[in-house]
Amino acid sequence: MPDRIVSADVIVCSPGRNFVTLKITTADGVVGWGDATVNGRELSVASYLRDHVAPLLLGRDPQRIEDTWQYLYRGAYWRRGPITMAAIGAVDLALWDIAGKIAGQPVFNLLGGAVRDRILCYTHANGTELPEVLDAVDAKRAAGFVAVRAQFGVPGLDQVYGVHAPEGIDDDHGAGAGHGGYEPAGRGARPVEEVWDTGAYLRHAPATLAAVRDHVGPELKLLHDAHHRLRPVEAARLARELEPADLFWLEDVTPAENQQVLRLVREHSTTPLAIGEVFNTIWDCQQLIIEQQIDYIRACVMHAGGISHARRIWDLAALYQVLAGPHGPSDVSPITMAASLHLALATPNFGIQEYMGYEPVTEEVFGHGWSFTDGYLHPGDAPGLGVTVDEEAAAAHPYQPAYLPVARTRDGAITNW
């Protein structure tokens, strides 16, 4: 008689920021943890799990991970989408955690075992003016990072994606970013509104990133995120003009809804491109991978349906020499970070993990076996995903409404944030 799932509980908490956590418990008392956080839409996933998924899990064999995945994906009839896929991802993470605990093995051993010793990661550095950007990059290098994403202010714009607001502007309604990273979501009943000017950014970015490259020398892996702002010809120009900065990657240089437009960017530049943090299935990734329009696929392991589905995306990418460079912002929990690291350790075509770090108050709730040393991460050897959740500590930090910003062009029209 196999073990059975006896409960599936959803915990919504806000230690520093909002997180949605799934706790699956088996009749034998094995507990698996999953993350289901979708920044700014947390309660939708919580409801999806509580109201529609948890009742279906009761009585199921927790080790039938793929069958449960197919049951939830095909069984919903309404396929794909960030809320559905994050919910399925949370279940998948929790079931892999349980499978590892039953086997007494870290999840990476269930995935074929380690193919590398450690996992390259990049962190974030930002500042409004160049000296502040350089100081921020230096601070991250001093902390051991060998890959750093640099974001900077743009003359004439008050608030820019990826940059702390200048002194005196409360861009995140006090949500804080104590880990030294940029916290994009703001607590409050409405999103913060930013003004965006592509011309000003295009005039400023190439010289700024070239100056960062001059400052750090040739070895540091330097990344930059254009965050979906540009139209195709603008994206092509930016990618070309950034070549002197020798970027490790340029991220989300244009939105990837109509993926044909990436061809124009590719024709004009050899700057490596990374896209996909908002993708949630292999179908979103398919065209960019098989047409080799990108070099790194950014899909987040949890948002893309968990380990079971993300590994299929990464395997497709391997056919085209595209590497995995998964999203790992502080707005997915340390549980997702663990899952991403277990899969990364066992995947040949893994490239780099985004790692912003977490605020201490977040780590008081989410304990983790994964660790950072000298620019690299490791998932740890504990059975399962190696994460723990302190439910009492979580209860001390109730949910608080929070939204990602929206952006408008100078004429007041909504544009991509």
Q: Which partner from the list Co ion, ligand EZ4, none does 39 bind, CB cut-off 5 to 8 Å by kind?
A: ligand EZ4
Answer yes or no: 227 catalytic: yes
Nearest CA-CA partner of 247 in 357, 154, 325, 320: 325
* CA-angle at 333, arms to 327 and 335, nearest 5°: 95
Distances (CA, A) of 97 to 73, 330, 401: 20, 21, 29
| Residues 136-165 contacting ligand EZ4, CB under 6 A | none
| φ, ψ dihedrals at 24, nearest 5° | -105, 130
Binding mask 32-71 for ligand EZ4 (x = CB under 6 A): -------x--------------------------------
Residue 331 binds ligand EZ4, judged by CB under 6 A: yes
| Beta carbon nearer to Co ion, 42 or 225 | 225
| Beta carbon nearer to ligand EZ4, 13 or 95 | 13
Q: How many CA atoms lie within 13 A of 38 on its CB side?
A: 25
Distant-in-sequence, close-in-space partners of 328: CB < 8 Å, separation ≥ 6: 121, 300, 336, 337, 340, 353, 354, 355, 356
DSSP H or E segment with residue 66: helix 65-75
Residue 329 binds ligand EZ4, judged by CB under 6 A: yes
Residue 295 binds Co ion, judged by CB under 5 A: no
Q: Which partner from the list Co ion, ligand EZ4, none does 329 bind, CB cut-off 5 to 8 Å by kind?
A: ligand EZ4
- Bridge partners of 124, per DSSP, are 149
| Beta carbon nearer to Co ion, 109 or 415 | 415
Burial class (CB in 10 A: 0-12, 13-18, 19+), 23: middle
Are residues 256 and 279 in contact, defined by beta-carbon separation less than 8 angstroms?
Answer: yes
CB of 173 to Co ion, least distance (A): 22
CB of 298 to ligand EZ4, least distance (A): 7
| Beta carbon nearer to ligand EZ4, 108 or 145 | 145
Size of the site for ligand EZ4 (CB under 6 A): 10
Q: Give the C-alpha separation, 417 to 408, whole Å.
A: 8
CA dihedral 255, 259, 264, 265 (to 10 degrees): 50
Residue 277 binds ligand EZ4, judged by CB under 6 A: yes
CB of 356 to ligand EZ4, least distance (A): 8
Binding mask 207-246 for Co ion (x = CB under 5 A): ------------------x---------------------
Nearest CA-CA partner of 341 in 313, 380, 308: 380
| Residues 265-294 contacting Co ion, CB under 5 A | 277
Nearest CA-CA partner of 68 in 37, 121, 42, 32: 32
Active-site annotation holder among 227, 309, 368, 397: 227
Q: Which partner from the list Co ion, ligand EZ4, none does 241 bind, CB cut-off 5 to 8 Å by kind?
A: none
Tokens encoding 118: 């450690």
* CA-angle at 341, arms to 333 and 250, nearest 5°: 85
Active-site annotation holder among 161, 182, 355, 376: 161
Residue 184 binds ligand EZ4, judged by CB under 6 A: yes
CB of 74 to ligand EZ4, least distance (A): 28
Binding mask 64-103 for Co ion (x = CB under 5 A): ----------------------------------------
* Cα torsion angle, 41, 46, 51, 52, sign: positive
Binding site for ligand EZ4 (CB under 6 A): 39, 184, 225, 227, 251, 277, 329, 331, 354, 404
Residues engaged in binding Co ion (CB under 5 A): 225, 277
* Active site residue ranges: 161, 227
